[in-house]
Amino acid sequence: MSFLPAPLVVRSSAPLARVSGVTRLAAGTIWLIAAAAIPDAEGELVLLVAALVGLVVWSGIPLRPLPGRMWPVALAALGLGLTAALGNTADRDPTLPTLLSWGPLRLTPPGLEAGVALAVRLLVIGLTSLLVFAPADLTRLADALVQQLRVPDRLAYGSVAAMGLAPRTAADWQATGAARRLRGLSPRTPAGRLAAVPGRLLVVLVMAFRRGERLALAMDARGFDSGLPRSRFRPVRAGPLDALVLAAAIGTVLLVAVIGQLG
Amino acid sequence: MTPPAVSASGFGWRYAGRSRPALHDLSFNLEPGRLLLIAGPSGCGKSTLARALAGIVPHALPGAWMGVLLVGEGEVASTPPGVLGQRVGLVFQDPETQLVMPHVADEVAFGLENRGWARDRMLTAVPAALAEVGLAGFEARLTAALSGGEQQRLALADVLAPLPELLVLDEPTANLDPPATTAVLQRLAVLAARRDRTIVVIEHRLEALLPLADHVLLLDDDGGQVAFGSPREVVARHAGALAGGRTWPAVVPCVADAPVVLAADAVSATYPPVIAGSPRTAVDRVSFVVRAGERVALVGPNGSGKSTVLHLAAGLRRPSSGSIRLTDPDGRRQDPARLPSATLPDRLALVFQDPEVGFVARRVTDEVGGDDPSPILERFGLAALADEDPFRLSTGEQRRLSLAATARQRPALLLLDEPTFGLDERGRGRVAALLDEGRAVGQAQLMATHDPRLLPGCDRVIALHEGRLVFDGPAPAFLASPPYEPADPWRLGSVTAGDGVGVTR
């Protein structure tokens, strides 16, 4: 009754699952900046290979369900890469050799390079996000944000609690549609369906809001945010493994920079 | 002499924006270590009193405070919520909106962290609290993957862990099936027998709680105090107010050759997995028929596939194999999922377990619809609320409205998902009356229910267990030898504590 995918079950003993969420965020940010800044396809490919190695060796993420989850990213990368390759300004330069041509479209070496660079960049961004967010659950990420980055408890754990209500809201959306159909109010045309969306959305939002309100009351009743300093059931400490993960992220970026200089 | 654990003196409360108080003129004293049962019709302010004991009223909700309410020696209105929260634990009706953290151990620790407990203390208190509610070893489980009963026992562990002086439970079994209710009540009986903390319980279903209670506080419709005393006294003087309502009338035998309205033929349905892995089978090759003028109860534990069968019958989900068909008056068999929406209101209606998802209008009167909805509103006790927003009604009022909305159209097939959840005796009486009227004119009724008291009023019982049909026959035969462990909480032999009285029915 839900269109939210089941969460990935990640091996909790994996190195990336054992480091602090803030470490993963920092390492991921370094990679994302590098992926955006690197101009050439070779550098992006090095990052992609490093990300894949990280995925297989360090993340503990099960590989089998990944194609099912990541295909939209792969499709977007392919489509945008193809567009960049064929729409490249260099393709109009008659002195360049033609690799492929189809009607008015023509593929040249610089176009190919630009297309591959963009496609690989998008794959790197997608994989990096996966490596940052998939290895540990929301609780651990909230713990790290609160304890290491001083994010307010109310924001961090309030978000954790709110995420728990998300599947119910998805189910509510389907149920409101079903209820309208049974009451004879189901619109026949796509335009009618579109017009019915605000009404259904209102019901779902009211329910989500009230559920959130009840949850907030329950949290208050348990002494949350009452002004007393909170203690920590799950202390987060940065250790050698955190340093290693950060060093690996920075090292890969430096390696890419060196290769870029040599090339 | 020790001061009372709870003391009210002329206490009352009016929510901001409401003209009438939710509670007024409450005066009683509750000694430490005792169990107080709060009883009264739905919407009478029982939950508001629970909120006041925990300080949510007045500290988190706006309104006007009247009189005095003491918890221990502290006046609730002038005690900071943080201080009150240290001393009072509150369990709500709905497990889903009181569980905060994704994992069980973190969930129990949440309240301890809020109180600033040292980690060493939490590491021993969390397993201890889980063991106390029968959830030992559940630490690493996901709260979302627990059953409703387990979730509610977890909520109990949450509030037990910080060792509160006062435990307040607001209809802790309202959303549970009989076995889960039994499990929660057994835990409650153990706690009550120890007498080491004061317990306040709100419950519609009094039979199981009266034997545990030391005192009963009976409220009236307007949130006033009818009686406060021992269960014996209150039952003796106010038996009518406590029992209320009417019993279900005798069954009119249904004609065996009445036309079939709904036929399921080896129908199956699967769900995507909750966590990971292969899809679960919700309904497994189930076959049955429902005839015109027949009332059929659909029973089984939580998760046995009852709601799924109703959704299949309403065409809200497609079978993974097999078929489910409606038969129209001309004998044509039709797939409910393919019928045009405009024709559905005459053919079938579904009363959702959560009434809010079914609401389609912004005013109560529009929700019922038709030229003159007022007689229907009158019958369901909703006339005074005609211009209200359906979302602003109480739980009981919402359920009555969702039933009232089907009374005008009177479809050939009425599907009901737990129609008596959250209703008091009077509300149940109204449901019974509606269902009787419908059946008298040949309406077929299929009703998923946990409420064993509804079964004698049904022509037939269909029992599901783990998605399979395990019984299809007359109600008396089902009640005489149920095909699975019924664990009926209304005949609790094992749950007895305190010096209260039993109520025989």
Least confident of A153-162, B26-35, B354-363: B354-363
B247 or B104, which is more confident? B104
Q: What is the dihedral of CA A213, A215, A216, A219, to 10 degrees?
A: 160
Residue B502 binned pLDDT confidence (cut-offs 50, 70, 90) = very low
Inside any domain, residue B500: no
Distance from A123 to chain B by nearest Cα, in Å? Answer: 25
Residue A247: per-residue pLDDT:
94
Residue B116: per-residue pLDDT:
92
Inside any domain, residue B85: yes
Strand B280-291, strand B333-334: pairing: unpaired
CA gap B361, B291 in Å, rounded:
32
SS3 B63: strand
Least confident of A63-67, B176-180, B391-395: B176-180
Residue B57: per-residue pLDDT:
85
Domain boundary among B216, B243, B270: B243
Sheet holding B280-291, edge to edge: B280-291, B260-271, B321-327, B333-334
Residues of A in contact with B344 (CB under 8 A): 181-184
Please tell me whether residues B415 and B368 are part of one structural domain: yes
Residue B406: per-residue pLDDT:
84
Mean pLDDT along residues B239-266: 67
Residue B484: per-residue pLDDT:
66
Please tell me which residue of chain A has the smallest CA distance to B50.
A221
Is pLDDT of B503 > 60?
Answer: no
Residue B69 binned pLDDT confidence (cut-offs 50, 70, 90) = very high
Question: Chain B contact for A13, CB < 8 A?
Answer: no
Residue B495: per-residue pLDDT:
35
Q: Are B180 and B6 within 8 A, CB to CB?
A: no
Residue B118: per-residue pLDDT:
96
To test the contact with chain A by mutation, choose from B59, B83, B86, B100 the residue with the greatest count of A C-beta atoms within 10 A, namely B100
A143 or A175, which is more confident? A143
Please tell me which residue of chain B has the smallest CA distance to A137.
B102
Please tell me whether residues B233 and B264 are part of one structural domain: no
Distance from A125 to chain B by nearest Cα, in Å? Answer: 25
CA gap A176, A182 in Å, rounded:
10
Is pLDDT of B352 > 90?
Answer: no
Inside any domain, residue B138: yes
Please tell me whether residues B274 and B212 are part of one structural domain: no
ipTM > 0.90, yes or no: no
Inside any domain, residue B497: no
Inside any domain, residue B283: yes
Contact A181 B344 (CB under 8 A): yes
Q: Which residues sit opposite B279 in a β-bridge?
A: none
Residues of A in contact with B141 (CB under 8 A): none
CA gap A80, A126 in Å, rounded:
14
Please tell me whether residues B134 and B234 are part of one structural domain: yes
Please tell me whether residues B135 and B160 are part of one structural domain: yes
Please tell me which residue of chain A has the smallest CA distance to B280.
A1
Q: How many CB atoms lie within 10 A of CB B333?
A: 12
> Which H helix or E strand runs over B102?
none
Inside any domain, residue B1: no
Half-sphere exposure of B500 (CA within 13 A, CB side): 29
Please tell me whether residues B165 and B312 are part of one structural domain: no
Distance from A116 to chain B by nearest Cα, in Å? Answer: 34
Is pLDDT of B413 > 50?
Answer: yes
Q: Which residues sit opposite B9 in a β-bridge?
A: B68
Is pLDDT of B147 > 70?
Answer: yes
Query: Tokens in use for B385?
Result: 């609320």
Contact A160 B94 (CB under 8 A): no
Residue B489: per-residue pLDDT:
40
Contact B101 A161 (CB under 8 A): yes
Contact A175 B354 (CB under 8 A): yes
A227-240: per-residue pLDDT in tens?
A: 788 999 999 988 99
CA gap B124, B127 in Å, rounded:
6
Q: What are phi and psi of A231, to 5 degrees?
A: -95, 175
Residue for token pair 């309104």 = B63
Within 36-75 of A, beta carbons closer than 8 Å to B belong to: 65
Residue for token pair 């009356």 = B433
Question: Chain B contact for A237, CB < 8 A?
Answer: no
Inside any domain, residue B255: no
Within 102-141 of A, beta carbons closer than 8 Å to B belong to: 137-139
Cα B246 to its chain centre, rounded Å, is 19
To test the contact with chain B by mutation, choose from A157, A226, A234, A236 the residue with the greatest count of B C-beta atoms within 10 A, namely A226
Share of chain B above pLDDT 90, in %: 34
Counted domains in chain B: 2
Contact B97 A214 (CB under 8 A): yes
Please tell me whether residues B15 and B55 are part of one structural domain: yes
Residues of A in contact with B354 (CB under 8 A): 175
Residue A90 binned pLDDT confidence (cut-offs 50, 70, 90) = low
Under 8 Å CB pairs connecting chains A and B tally to 179
Strands (E), A194-256: none
Three-state SS for A74-110 is: HHHHHHHHHHHHHCCHHHHCCCCCCCEEECCEEECHH
Residue B356: per-residue pLDDT:
84
A80 or A90, which is more confident? A80
CA gap B41, B11 in Å, rounded:
19
> Which H helix or E strand runs over B5?
none
Residue for token pair 């307040």 = B168
Please tell me whether residues B170 and B278 are part of one structural domain: no
B203-229: per-residue pLDDT in tens?
A: 877 777 888 899 999 998 889 999 999
Question: Chain B contact for A196, CB < 8 A?
Answer: no
C-alpha radius of gyration, chain A, whole number: 24
Question: Chain B contact for A7, CB < 8 A?
Answer: yes
CA gap A215, B98 in Å, rounded:
5
A191 or B137, which is more confident? B137
B423 or B129, which is more confident? B129
Q: Which residues sit opposite A106 in a β-bridge?
A: A101
Mean pLDDT along residues A213-230: 86
CATH number, residue B356: 3.40.50.300
Within 155-194 of A, beta carbons closer than 8 Å to B belong to: 157, 160-161, 164-165, 167-168, 172, 175-176, 178-186, 188
Residue B379 binned pLDDT confidence (cut-offs 50, 70, 90) = confident
CA gap B105, B443 in Å, rounded:
49
Contact A222 B275 (CB under 8 A): no
Contact A182 B99 (CB under 8 A): no
Residue B249 binned pLDDT confidence (cut-offs 50, 70, 90) = very low
Residue A5 binned pLDDT confidence (cut-offs 50, 70, 90) = low
Question: How would you classify residue A60: left for phi > 0, otherwise alpha for psi between -120 and 50, otherwise beta?
Answer: left
Inside any domain, residue B505: no
Is pLDDT of B10 > 90?
Answer: yes
Residue A164: per-residue pLDDT:
85
Containing structural domain, residue B266? 260-485
Question: Chain B contact for A222, CB < 8 A?
Answer: yes
Please tell me whether residues B225 and B296 are part of one structural domain: no
Is pLDDT of B501 > 60?
Answer: no
Please tell me whether residues B127 and B276 are part of one structural domain: no
Least confident of A100-114, B322-336, B396-410, B473-487: B473-487
Contact B110 A165 (CB under 8 A): no
Is pLDDT of B6 > 80?
Answer: yes
Contact B143 A157 (CB under 8 A): no
Intra-chain end-to-end CA distance of chain B, in Å: 39
DSSP state letter for B212: G
Strand B321-327, strand B74-75: pairing: unpaired
Residue B168 binned pLDDT confidence (cut-offs 50, 70, 90) = very high
Please tell me which residue of chain A has the smallest CA distance to B369.
A183
Please tell me which residue of chain B has the smallest CA distance to A224.
B114
Point out the residue among B97, B119, B340 whose CB comes nearest to the CB of A232.
B119
Mean pLDDT along residues B158-184: 84
Residue B216: per-residue pLDDT:
93
Is pLDDT of B265 > 90?
Answer: yes
Residues of B in contact with A222 (CB under 8 A): 85, 89, 100, 110-111, 114, 158-159
B268-301: per-residue pLDDT in tens?
A: 998 765 554 556 788 999 999 999 989 999 998 8
Domain boundaries, chain A: 15-136+239-262, 151-221
Least confident of B287-291, B346-350, B441-445, B500-504: B500-504
Q: Are B221 and B43 within 8 A, CB to CB?
A: yes
Please tell me whether residues B310 and B191 are part of one structural domain: no
Residue B146: per-residue pLDDT:
82
Residue A30: per-residue pLDDT:
93
Distance from A177 to chain B by nearest Cα, in Å? Answer: 9
Contact B113 A232 (CB under 8 A): yes
**Spatial CB neighbours of A139, under 8 Å, sequence gap ≥ 6:** A160, A234, B101, B102, B103, B106
Please tell me whether residues B219 and B343 are part of one structural domain: no
